[in-house]
Structure 1
């Protein structure tokens, strides 16, 4: 489970529900410093410019559509169009508990691959060529 990819998926769904197809400018950041929220979403301003909308209003619309998911404790919009996300601790604990109780820690088994490694022994007394 990658929270950033889940957030991005929810944002793209919300943009699509608002009639916006362009979503490549969305950036999701962890907040490592002392900010009170868990994640911040940027890129709404650029999308708003391309769709001739107010960035703050567009961010509000996206936040309202995203609020329906249980993973969010709250979603705040700040000027000029940033979305600050607080994750629901109960949701995180449920996901963590599911992973811990899983046999493989909820990691999917991948098909083995053969990888060929060529150890070359170049002669340093000769010029390199192909």
Structure 2
């Protein structure tokens, strides 16, 4: 069984739970950006955006670098393999449950049809 470091998963899912942070990541997939650019794009204060970027950086999703007076953001080193594996494990469990439910429903429908034809 695969073991996951819960603190890493907790930080990752907490970082991804916020729509602004997901938006920041989506923007950084397309191009690097300064915190000032991101704050402007999302209609936030610099302080607010710095907090969001800090959460993403702590989770490893964003890396920042200070160039002169500007702090540039880019996608970080974390590739989400652990998160994807965790989600996949539960997706498979739910698929199995829904498959079993489909079988029960099909059986019930067959019996209902058989009972209707017998009358």
TM over 0.5: no
Q: What TM-score, normalized to structure 2?
A: 0.36
Q: What TM-score, normalized to structure 1?
A: 0.34
Radius of gyration: which is bigger? Answer: 2
Which is richer in helix?
2
Higher relative contact order (CA 8 A, sep 6+): 2
